[in-house]
Amino acid sequence: MRFLKAGLLALCGLLLSACASFQLNVTDLMQSPKSTEDQTEIYEALTTAAGVSDVQLKYPKRGNYRSAFVLFDLDADGEREALVFYSIPSLGGNVRIMVLDRQEEEWVSVYDAVGEGNDVAEIDFQMLTDSGRYSVLIGWERGTSENTSISVYDYTGDQLRVLFESDYSLMLIQDMDQDGIQEILLGIYKASSKTGSIRLINETEEGLESISRVTMDHSITGFLGIEIGDIAPGQTAVFVDAYVGTSEITTEIMAYTASGTLCALSGDHGQTGQSFSRSIPVRCEDINADGILEIPAAVEVQAAEEFPIEDEDEEASHLIQYLQLSNPELLLQLEEDLPQQEDPAFSFSPVWTGFVSLDYGFRFAFPQNWVGMVDVEKEPDRSEWVFCLRSDAVEPPALLRIRVYEQDELWDVFDDVTYARLDNRGTYEYYAAVLQPAEVPASMQISMEEVEEGFSTIKS
Taking only the tens place, the pLDDT of each residue in 81-125 is 999 999 998 887 789 999 999 999 899 999 999 999 999 999 999
Dihedral angle of Cα 87, 91, 93, 94, to the nearest 10 degrees? -60
Q: Is the pLDDT at 50 greater than 50, yes or no?
A: yes
pLDDT of the residue at 171: 94
Q: Which of 13-22, 357-366, 435-444 has the lowest mean pLDDT?
A: 13-22
Distances (CA, A) of 170 to 70, 183, 253: 23, 14, 16
pLDDT of the residue at 414: 65
The pTM score is 0.83
How far, in Å, CA of 456 to CA of 362, rounded?
6
Q: Is the pLDDT at 302 greater than 90, yes or no?
A: no
Average pLDDT over every residue of 339-357: 80
pLDDT of the residue at 336: 44
Q: How confident is the model at residue 270 (pLDDT cuts 50, 70, 90)?
A: low
Contact 134, 127 (CB under 8 A): yes
Q: Tell me which of 319 and 30 has the higher pLDDT.
A: 319
Average pLDDT over every residue of 163-176: 95
Q: Is the pLDDT at 301 greater than 70, yes or no?
A: no
How far, in Å, CA of 262 to CA of 270, rounded?
11
How far, in Å, CA of 102 to CA of 148, rounded?
32
What percent of the chain stands above pLDDT 90? 67
Average pLDDT over every residue of 145-159: 91
Q: Is the pLDDT at 7 greater than 50, yes or no?
A: no
Average pLDDT, the chain: 85
How far, in Å, CA of 214 to CA of 203, rounded?
18
pLDDT of the residue at 3: 37
Q: How confident is the model at residue 344 (pLDDT cuts 50, 70, 90)?
A: low
Q: Tell me which of 133 and 331 has the higher pLDDT.
A: 133
Name 311's Cβ contacts closer than 8 Å, sequence gap at least 6. none
pLDDT of the residue at 16: 37
Distances (CA, A) of 91 to 55, 95, 272: 10, 10, 55
Q: How confident is the model at residue 313 (pLDDT cuts 50, 70, 90)?
A: low
Q: Is the pLDDT at 26 greater than 70, yes or no?
A: no
How far, in Å, CA of 240 to CA of 196, rounded?
11
Average pLDDT over every residue of 306-311: 44
Q: How confident is the model at residue 271 (pLDDT cuts 50, 70, 90)?
A: low
SS3 113: strand
Q: Which of 154-163, 245-254, 270-279 has the lowest mean pLDDT?
A: 270-279
How far, in Å, CA of 446 to CA of 122, rounded?
49
